[in-house]
Amino acid sequence: MTKRFLLFAACVVLTAACTRKTTDANGTAAQETVAESVAAAADNNAPQYQDLALPGISGGTVKVSDYVGKNKLVLIDFWASWCAPCRAEMPAVVKTYTDFHEKGLEVVGVSFDNNHEAWANAVGALNMAWPQMSDLRGWDSEGAHVYNITSIPANVLIDQEGCIVAKDLRGEDLYNTVAELLK
């Protein structure tokens, strides 16, 4: 009985995490559709991304600005090896990356890990073939501060002009939004 309840609770949590929540002008929670995310991409007043430069997984520095402008879309994906919802979401990110990388999508991973070995092992185990960065400061990561990340998984989708066109897309919403924007 307990195992069934825990499995049910995990499914509810993961399903809830896959819905993008926004707040309207009155502060009321609302769900943003893929069409609304795509419409935001056409908004000239969309917020600009902020550059982030952190150590890469193999040394050196990885900078978001090295990818924005050179790709049609850049997804900054905030995650950690110890985060079960992040690991559960990763197959959707991998599929989106695999299907759209050649069409202009780049993903840049920002890990909230504290341990380099755990971070590197997770990157390999989860087949994350894109650039990775982390200052290994966990929740005190520069990425958390620059993008005001208070929970993970989280992501920011940036267009070629550097405008943030969507945030916190999951699963099918991530895939469909990227597909629509790369038409």
Residue 127 vs residues 18, 120, 124: alpha-carbon distances, Å: 21, 11, 5
CA–CA gap between residue 169 and residue 154 (Å, rounded): 8
DSSP helix/strand/coil, 45: coil
For the whole prediction, is pTM greater than 0.85? no
Q: Find residue 23's DSSP bridge partners.
A: 29
Q: Collect all residues with Cβ–Cβ distance below 8 Å to 38 and sequence separation of at least 6.
A: 165, 177, 180, 181
Per-residue pLDDT in tens (0 to 9) along the chain, 183 residues: 444 433 333 443 433 343 233 344 444 444 444 445 445 445 556 799 999 999 999 999 999 999 999 999 999 999 999 999 999 999 999 999 999 999 999 999 999 999 999 999 999 999 999 999 999 999 999 999 999 999 999 999 999 999 999 999 999 999 999 999 999
| 138 torsion bin: left (phi>0), alpha (psi -120 to 50), beta (else) | left
- Residue 73 class from Cβ within 10 Å (0-12 exposed, 13-18 middle, 19+ buried)? buried
The answer to whether 109 and 128 are in contact (CB under 8 A) is yes
What is the pLDDT at residue 46?
A: 74
**DSSP 8-state code for residue 138:** G
CB atoms closer than 10 angstroms to residue 176: 17
Alpha helix (H) ranges present in the chain? 2-17, 34-41, 84-100, 116-125, 142-146, 171-181
